[in-house]
Amino acid sequence: MANGKIGVTTENIFPIIKKFLYSDHEIFLREVISNAVDATQKLKALASVNEFTGELGDLTIRIALDETAKTITISDSGIGMTEEEIEKYINQIAFSGAEEFMAKYKTDNGIIGHFGLGFYSAFMVSKKVEIVTHSFKEGATALRWSCDGSPDYTIEPAEREARGTDIILHIDDDSIEFAEKTRIEGLLKKYCRYLTIPIAFGKEQDWKDGKYEDTDKDQIINNPNPIWSLKPADLKEEDYMEFYHELYPMAEDALFSIHLNVDYPFNLTGILYFPKLKNNLEVQKNRIQLYCRQVYVTDNVEGIVPEFLTLLHGVIDSPDIPLNVSRSYLQSDSNVKKISSHITKKVADRLQEIFKNDRPQFEQKWDDLKIFMEYGMLSDEKFYERAEKFFLFKNTDGKYFTIEEYATLIKPTQEDKNKKLVYLYTTNREQQFTYIEKAQNKGYDVLMMDGQLDAHFVNQMESKLPDARFVRVDSDVVERLIPKEDLAETKLTKEQQEELRPVFVCHAPEKTNFTVMFENLSETDAPVLITQSEFMRRMKDMAQMGGGGMNFYGELPDSYNLVVNANHPLVLKVIGETETAMKADLDKVNGEIAPVEASLNEVKDAQKSLKPDDISQADKDKVAEIEKQLSTLKDKKTAMLSAFGKKNQLAKQIVDLALLANNMLNGEALAKFVKRSVEMIKK
Ligand SMILES: Nc1ncnc2c1ncn2[C@@H]1O[C@H](COP(=O)(O)OP(=O)(O)OP(=O)(O)O)[C@@H](O)[C@H]1O
């Protein structure tokens, strides 16, 4: 029997290991099993170069749990260790045997370990660890190494006929949860599901005499040949979908899969899936899993995969991603950068391939795909450049167009007088229905832009496409959506417009900001329309999406334009009714206003030649006094007209009609509107 001190200078390194080595204590099992896999792979490597000529035999790695003794035993039939090797690889912490082995044999035949600390993670959960090992080397004998967590260890002869190693973990009282079958099963499933050597835990069971009974067949918990390790040429679409459901049993079918397979300038394999996302960007639970030579590492791939692709599902396996370093370091690692841009390229290539080879399928899945595309195009310049060839616009008839096709389609009809191409779009087909219909009647096409990212995307498109303007279909009256040339005079005079303003505005709903505007529209258009300025609305939309610094816009009340058609016969009828009914009152108040206005002009004219400093205070007061008088009179006129307007059924009816078309009329107002309409029809 030999005694010794483990080769580290710190008096006792184990408390440090226990607390800080890995934040996740549960990874101990992955580390110890990975070593067993490595030992087995090394033996296979030696056999392949005839340095080991014996029988490989059954290489299954067995995990045994003794719930009473609170031990977990991991047994392999790998290369084992001689006394010198134990001294070198186990006693000298951080001296990694794997690195040395790979350097010597210039193979990375599925060998995982390269940090040189994995084995010691066993002490995070164990009060004592034993190694019983028998090297494959000729003349080697079995040995037992034992250490109770202090820097002292013992090494002595042991009984183990067969080649290989048992690692026996005596689980510590404060980690007793790890001595339970279900916990171990959970860990095996999480970390060891795709290890390259068969792993057995317990026995397969049979239903016998009303209960489950163990058979003598080992229960293998892993699949050593997951499909990402196979050649794409040997796989069918069904295989990919089957694997998808193996990874995420609760998920709906994925839209597409992408098989990654690179070996230069870095190693990377994997399969990514475009999932079917529900309508909003739900937080993803089925995340991409990162593996290193088929050992599960994490499902936090942030920094390795471009941000917009973290929405995808699937697996990535690469020995070239540094796993033991911080995330911030990862982002600056040149290998990781290359991996990230390679994945972006692959994803874009695959999408383009489907677009080219099977456009109907691509279109059919487009609605689900769009959010990824937009996210990618907004956040990744490189992806934008690739994706602009197969990004699809969808119009209100459900037809799909590439960006180029669409420009060709609308060019003859939707170019404005400044040679800008106007892209009309709707964010809500139902709410904006009347506007869509009007635009279509005028021969325009309207795009569907009702996704979460569309507000941002529209902005991006405007900056990317030369001479393009995106205009929401309800942001102006149809005549002015795409201004072609200047229109003729309106039938309403300026004075009449001023008189009608209060007659109409008194019917607009309270609490919302309405500005009455008169527009030179066609007689056949609606008498009144409601629009919302494109700029204002976009600002508010973006503020809602959380575009930084725009909260100011978000807090403004909604404001609309009440656009009165200055040529419509019904509007002309309202002015007629107003002028008839109000003739006496209007004459009277206009008669009062005229002399006040005249004297104001007179005083102002007289002051025009003077410098502001030379005007006497008395004169200034005089102007103020007249202005006050004038505004009182004008307010009186407005109040009169407004009182008349309130009683004017026709004006109310016309405004309500516009509100109705805009889904702004409901409840009591709607009931009254219907009643009034019926009465009018009867008349
Ligand atoms: N089951 C085993 N059979 C044979 N040798 C083993 C076994 N377990 C550990 N070793 C030896 O001990 C060494 C140290 O293991 P350890 O897990 O600490 O580091 P590693 O596997 O080289 O790297 P990593 O930290 O990435 O796991 C291994 O490289 C290997 O030489």
Confidence label for 4 from pLDDT (cuts 50, 70 and 90): low
What is the overall mean pLDDT for the chain? 86
With a cut of 80, say whether residue 30 has pLDDT above it.
yes
116 CA from centroid of ligand 1 (Å)? 7
Per residue in 598-655, pLDDT (tens digit) is: 988 888 888 877 787 777 888 888 888 999 999 999 999 999 999 999 999 899 989 9
295 CA from centroid of ligand 1 (Å)? 15
Considering the domain architecture, whether residues 264 and 151 belong to the same structural domain is answered as no
Place of tokens 């006040």: 596
Question: DSSP letters along 268-318, please?
Answer: EEEEEEE----SS-PPPSSPPEEEETTEEEES--BTTB-GGGGGSEEEEE-
Is 0.95 exceeded by the ipTM? yes
For ligand 1, whether the C-beta of 98 sits within 6 Å is yes
263 CA from centroid of ligand 1 (Å)? 26
For ligand 1, whether the C-beta of 116 sits within 6 Å is yes
Name the DSSP letter for residue 614. G
Contact 391, 406 (CB under 8 A): no
Considering the domain architecture, whether residues 59 and 127 belong to the same structural domain is answered as yes
Whose Cα sits closest to atom 11 in ligand 1?
A: 89
For ligand 1, whether the C-beta of 426 sits within 6 Å is no
Strands 164-171 and 199-208: unpaired
**Reduced to 3 states, what is the DSSP secondary structure of residue 339?**
helix
Residue range(s) defining the domain that contains residue 660: 494-607+616-680
Q: What angle do CA 46, 48, 53 make, to 5 degrees?
A: 65
Considering the domain architecture, whether residues 200 and 145 belong to the same structural domain is answered as yes
Tell me whether residue 382 is in a domain.
no
Give the model's pLDDT for residue 560: 86
Tell me whether residue 381 is in a domain.
no
Cβ-Cβ contacts under 8 Å for 18 (sequence gap 6 or more): 123, 124
Whose Cα sits closest to atom 12 in ligand 1?
A: 89
Considering the domain architecture, whether residues 571 and 653 belong to the same structural domain is answered as yes
109 CA from centroid of ligand 1 (Å)? 15
Whose Cα sits closest to atom 29 in ligand 1?
A: 97
Whose Cα sits closest to atom 1 in ligand 1?
A: 36
Considering the domain architecture, whether residues 467 and 507 belong to the same structural domain is answered as no
Q: Which among 13, 14, 108, 119 is the best mutation to test ligand 1's pocket, defined by most ligand atoms within 8 Å of the CB?
A: 119
189 CA from centroid of ligand 1 (Å)? 22
447/115: higher pLDDT = 447
Which pTM does this prediction carry? 0.72
Considering the domain architecture, whether residues 431 and 503 belong to the same structural domain is answered as no
Q: Which among 96, 168, 295 is the best mutation to test ligand 1's pocket, defined by most ligand atoms within 8 Å of the CB?
A: 96
331 CA from centroid of ligand 1 (Å)? 29
Considering the domain architecture, whether residues 404 and 553 belong to the same structural domain is answered as no
Give the model's pLDDT for residue 617: 85
Q: Lowest-pLDDT range, 67-71, 157-161, 172-176, 658-662?
A: 658-662
346 CA from centroid of ligand 1 (Å)? 35
Q: Which residues of 141-171 are buried (b: 16+ CB within 10 A; e: fewer)?
A: ebbbbbbebebebebeebebeebbbbbbbbb
Cβ neighbours around 327 below 10 Å, total: 10
Per residue in 110-162, pLDDT (tens digit) is: 444 434 457 888 888 999 999 999 999 999 999 999 998 777 889 999 999 99
Considering the domain architecture, whether residues 194 and 258 belong to the same structural domain is answered as no
Using the 3D structure, point to which of 199, 220, 241 is the last residue of a domain.
220
Considering the domain architecture, whether residues 237 and 205 belong to the same structural domain is answered as no
User: In Å, what is the CA distance from 644 to each residue of 385, 578, 638, 673?
Assistant: 61, 8, 10, 19
89 CA from centroid of ligand 1 (Å)? 7
Give the residue numbers of the binding site for ATP: 31, 35, 76, 81, 96-97, 165, 327
Considering the domain architecture, whether residues 297 and 444 belong to the same structural domain is answered as no
Per residue in 363-390, pLDDT (tens digit) is: 999 998 998 899 999 999 999 999 999 9
Per residue in 421-436, pLDDT (tens digit) is: 999 999 999 989 989 9
Number of H helices, E strands in the chain: 22, 22
Exposed/middle/buried for 234, CB within 10 Å: 0-12, 13-18, 19+? exposed
Angle between helices 494-505 and 649-661 (to 10 degrees): 70
Percent of the chain's residues with pLDDT above 70: 88
Please state the domain count of the chain.
Answer: 4
Exposed/middle/buried for 178, CB within 10 Å: 0-12, 13-18, 19+? buried
For ligand 1, whether the C-beta of 179 sits within 6 Å is no
Per residue in 453-492, pLDDT (tens digit) is: 898 999 999 999 988 999 999 888 887 888 877 666 788 8
Give the model's pLDDT for residue 88: 86
With a cut of 50, say whether residue 452 has pLDDT above it.
yes
Residues 144, 3: Cα–Cα separation, whole Å: 12
Cβ-Cβ contacts under 8 Å for 465 (sequence gap 6 or more): 403, 407, 421
Considering the domain architecture, whether residues 210 and 256 belong to the same structural domain is answered as no
Question: DSSP letters along 459-517, please?
Answer: HHHHHHSTTEEEEETTSS-HHHHS--S-----SS-HHHHHHHHHHHHTTSPTTSEEEEE
Q: Both tokens of residue 355?
A: 């677009």
Whose Cα sits closest to atom 24 in ligand 1?
A: 113
Measured from the CA of 78, which atom of ligand 1 is nearest? Answer: 3
Q: What is the CATH number of the domain that holds 243?
A: 3.30.230.80
Strands 61-66 and 71-76: antiparallel
Tell me whether residue 379 is in a domain.
no
For ligand 1, whether the C-beta of 97 sits within 6 Å is yes
Confidence label for 669 from pLDDT (cuts 50, 70 and 90): confident
Q: What is the CATH number of the domain that holds 438?
A: 3.40.50.11260
For ligand 1, whether the C-beta of 89 sits within 6 Å is yes
Q: What is the CATH number of the domain that holds 197?
A: 3.30.565.10
Whose Cα sits closest to atom 7 in ligand 1?
A: 35
Considering the domain architecture, whether residues 238 and 253 belong to the same structural domain is answered as yes
Place of tokens 């616009």: 393
